Amino acid sequence: MTLDDRVALITGPRRIGAVVAAHLAERGCDVVLSYNRSRDEAEAAADVVRALRRRAHLIQADLADPSACRAMVDEAAREMGHLDILVNMASIYVSKPLDETTDADWDRQMSLDLRATWACSHAAVPHMRCRGGGRIVNFTDWVARSGRPRYTGYLPYYVAKAGVLALTEGLALEVARDQILVNAIAPGPIVAPPGTSDEELRDVERATPLGRWGGEGEIARAVVFLCETDFVTGETIRVDGGRHVR
């Protein structure tokens, strides 16, 4: 699929999402950015898109609410005239010991990482059918893609991201006849979380066969590939510097 004059909706425009937005705009996409509380970051990402002579539109939404997911998708299509690409990036990544994890923690993780991916995708499909096809790119995690947990303290996150893998495969089958391709990206060490110490940075580098962090551009290039391909669907691409082979 060529990306000229396509409309892409990205949830979670902070850091990596902003770089994804810029890469899609460089290839001709107009971009809708959905945010919850990070309006300043969303505005900055939108400014970059506009500087690349493409349209940008911001939508505030709490994607833990499925009705907000559907309203956001419909607004994106209405404001931009159509919808071709959905990039489901919104996520929570918080470590918490098992004994301190509450039902509310579990529900929040599932509602944002898994149910929002479903609700946004479900709402986007009719709009993409009207266009004769489309692309949905979901985000899981290299640990979930490896098929086994590797770190304690992230149980709800691991389960939600494993669910995204199943959702990606099942949805890809459901909408293949509509020429809607559904894939996922499983990032590894791309950008260090805020507060990461120098020693923690080096530990990750030592554990990564390529010996370095990937950077936001690696994810953006993977997203572009999955938007442009016409024959890859139901796949999850690991962008992890080889972490899964060690």
**Choosing from 35, 93, 154, 157, which is the catalytic residue?**
157
The structure tokens listed for 232 are 């890859």
Q: What is the mean predicted confidence (pLDDT) over 187-202? A: 87
What residues pair up with 238 in beta bridges, in sequence order? 186
Number of domains composing the chain: 1
DSSP-derived secondary structure for 2-68: --TT-EEEEE--STHHHHHHHHHHHTT-EEEEEESS-HHHHHHHHHHHHHTT--EEEEE--TTSHHH
State pLDDT tens for residues 206-242.
989 898 888 999 999 999 999 999 999 999 999 999 8
- Give me the sheet containing 30-35, strands edge to edge: 56-60, 30-35, 7-11, 85-88, 134-139, 180-187, 236-239
Please tell me the predicted confidence (pLDDT) of residue 192.
Answer: 84
Known catalytic residue at 157: yes
C-alpha closest to that of 32 among 2, 92, 74: 74
| CB atoms near residue 75 (< 10 Å) | 16
Determine the Cα–Cα distance for residues 150 and 173; give it in Å rounded to an integer.
Answer: 30
CA distance 190 to 13: 16
User: Residue 228: inside a domain, yes or no?
Assistant: yes
Q: What pTM, to 2 d.p., does this model score?
A: 0.95
Q: At 235, which CATH number?
A: 3.40.50.720
Nearest alpha carbon to residue 92 among 101, 83, 79: 101
DSSP string, 151-196: STT-HHHHHHHHHHHHHHHHHHHHHGGGTEEEEEEEE-SSSPPTT-
- Work out the mean pLDDT of the chain and round it to a whole number: 95
Contact 21, 13 (CB under 8 A): yes
Is residue 127 within a helix (H) or strand (E), and if so which, with residue range?
A: helix 116-130
pLDDT of 126-159, one tens digit each?
999 999 999 999 999 998 898 888 888 889 999 9
Amino acid, res. 36: N
Residue 123, CA atoms < 13 Å, CB-side half-sphere: 25
The pLDDT assigned to 151 comes to 85
DSSP secondary structure letter of residue 234: S
1 domain residue, yes or no: no
Close Cβ partners of 117 (under 8 Å, ≥ 6 residues apart)? 88, 138, 164, 167
Range of the domain at 113: 7-245
Residue 64 lies in a domain: yes
User: Residue 34's beta-bridge partner residues?
Assistant: 11, 59
Q: With 90 as the cut, is the pLDDT of residue 94 above it?
A: no
* Six-digit token string for 95: 């470590």
Supply the pLDDT for residue 246: 77
Rounded mean pLDDT, 162-172:
98
Assign 125 a pLDDT band (cuts: 50, 70, 90): very high
Residue 2 inside a domain? The answer is no
pLDDT band at 116 (very low <50, low <70, confident <90, very high): very high
> For residues 202 and 213, what is the distance between their CA atoms, to the nearest angstrom?
10
Token couple for 193: 């979380």
pLDDT value of position 200: 86
